[in-house]
Amino acid sequence: MTHYTVRRRLTRLAVIVGLLAGAAFAGLPILWMLSSSFKANPEIFAYPPQLVTPGFSLDAYVSILTDPVKIRFFINSYVVALSVVALTLLVAIHAAYAFSRFEFRGKRWLSTIIISVQAVPPITLLIPYFGLVVSLGLYNTYPGLILTYMVFTLPYAIIMMTGYFNTLPRELDEAVRVDGAGSMTALWRVLVPVSVPGIVSVGVYTFMIAWNEYLFALTLTRTEDMRTVPIGIQLLMGQHSYQWNEMMAMSILGSIPVLLLFLFFQRYFIGGLASGAVKS
Amino acid sequence: MTTLHSSRRTALARGYRRTEPYRFLSPTIILMLVLMALPIGLVVSYSIYDNVITNRNPSLVGLENYIKILSDPTFTIAIGNTVFFTVGSVAVHLVLGLGFAMLLNSPLISAWVRGIFRVIFILPWLFTVAIIAVLWRMLLSPNGVINYLLVTLGLPAQQLEWLSDPQLALWAVTFINIWAGYPFFMISLLAGLQGIPADLYEAATVDGASPWQRFIHVTLPQLRPIIISMMLLDLIWTSQQFALIWMTTGGGPITATEMLSTYTYKLAFSRYEFALASTSAVLILAMSMVLAYFYARHQKARD
Question: What's residue A278's pLDDT?
Answer: 46
Residues of A in contact with B106 (CB under 8 A): 15
Nearest CA in chain A to B223: A278
* Mean pLDDT computed over every residue of chain B: 91
Q: Do A183 and B20 touch (CB under 8 A)?
A: yes
Nearest CA in chain B to A117: B36
Question: DSSP per residue over B141-159, as a string?
Answer: STTSHHHHHHHHTT--SS-
Question: What's residue B101's pLDDT?
Answer: 96
What's the per-residue H, E or C state across chain A?
Answer: CCHHHHHHHHHHHHHHHHHHHHHHHHHHHHHHHHHHHCCCHHHCCCCCCCCCCCCCCCHHHHHHHCCHHHHHHHHHHHHHHHHHHHHHHHHHHHHHHHHHHCCCCCHHHHHHHHHHHCCCCHHHHHHHHHHHHHHCCCCCCHHHHHHHHHHHHHHHHHHHHHHHHHHCCCHHHHHHHHCCCCHHHHHHHHHHHHCHHHHHHHHHHHHHHHHHCCHHHHHHCCCHHHCCHHHHHHHHHHCCCCCHHHHHHHHHHHHHHHHHHHHHHHHHHHHHHHHHHHCC
**Interior angle at CA A267, CA A266 and CA A270, nearest 5:** 70
Question: What's residue B11's pLDDT?
Answer: 75
Please give the Cα distance from A22 to A16 (Å, whole number).
10
Residues of A in contact with B289 (CB under 8 A): 116, 119
Q: Is residue B3 over pLDDT 60?
A: no
Better pLDDT: A129 or B155: A129
Confidence of residue B96 (pLDDT cuts 50, 70, 90): very high
- Residues of chain A with confidence (pLDDT) below 70: 1-2, 239-241, 271-280
Question: What's residue A280's pLDDT?
Answer: 38
Q: Is residue B232 over pLDDT 50?
A: yes
Interface ipTM: 0.91
pTM listed for this prediction: 0.92
Chain segment B253-285, per-residue pLDDT in tens = 999 999 999 999 999 999 999 999 999 999 999
Which of B18, B30, B33, B35 would you mutate first to test chain A, the one with the most A CBs within 10 A? B35
Nearest CA in chain A to B302: A279
Q: Do B39 and A132 touch (CB under 8 A)?
A: yes
Residues of A in contact with B242 (CB under 8 A): 122-123, 214-215
